[in-house]
Amino acid sequence: MNRPLRLRILKRHTSLELSSADEFYETELMTRERLPDLELSVFNVNDVVSDVVRTHAEYAASFRDAPPGVREGIALSDCRACDEVTVQGDTEFAFTRSQHRELHFLDARELRELAASVVSTLAERRRGAEQESIRAYAHDRLSARDPEWLSACEKRPKWSKWALKAKVGAQ
């Protein structure tokens, strides 16, 4: 049986190398305005590789002009100091839009507690997707003429060129 996963896409893959809760808090749990992000964006998906890769691929294709390297995420499934709210996502894809949630926190103290928990159990929380897995997924979707992927690649043309060369080298 597939376990549910609250997948938080990390802002920087190097956040997994941070050794303190304070560093993680400052890097991953603050808004652009340098305020505590009391409404953390997550995706509710099955804790299986295919859903994790799909989520990373759709997220990256929606917001990144260039194809990604490794995408990193963490599991926040055990977060108890927050309320989960269903919020329509703003990706290019129905799956990630429908699976988008926000974890609402009361204050920065709760976020700092989350940061401490994440850093102390980071190895168990990692849910990344390698570049080649993302490329293979995008290649398969484009080869199947998936309308969402075709539309996303019209907006970000580098994606289709990158994805469609994926299996040429592998053959």
Instruction: Give the pLDDT means over successive 10-residue stretches in the chain (171 positions).
Output: 86 82 94 95 96 96 85 91 88 96 95 94 93 94 97 94 68 39
Q: Classify residue 169: in a domain, yes or no.
A: no
Helix, coil or strand: residue 124: helix
Domains of the chain: total: 1
Amino acid 167: pLDDT: 54
What CA–CA distances, in Å, run from 83 to 78, 115, 127?
12, 17, 22
Amino acid 52: pLDDT: 97
* 17: containing domain: 4-131
Q: Which amino acid is at 49?
A: V
Amino acid 170: pLDDT: 45
Q: Classify residue 170: in a domain, yes or no.
A: no
Q: Classify residue 150: in a domain, yes or no.
A: no
End-to-end alpha carbon distance in the chain: 34
Amino acid 1: pLDDT: 57
Amino acid 169: pLDDT: 46
Q: Classify residue 136: in a domain, yes or no.
A: no
Q: Classify residue 48: in a domain, yes or no.
A: yes
Q: For residues 118 and 82, is the Cβ–Cβ distance under 8 A? A: no
| Residue 1 burial (10 A CB sphere; 0-12, 13-18, 19+) | exposed
Q: Classify residue 79: in a domain, yes or no.
A: yes
Q: Classify residue 155: in a domain, yes or no.
A: no
Q: Classify residue 29: in a domain, yes or no.
A: yes
Instruction: State the DSSP H helix or E strand holding residue 94, giving kind and residue range, or none if neither.
Output: helix 94-99
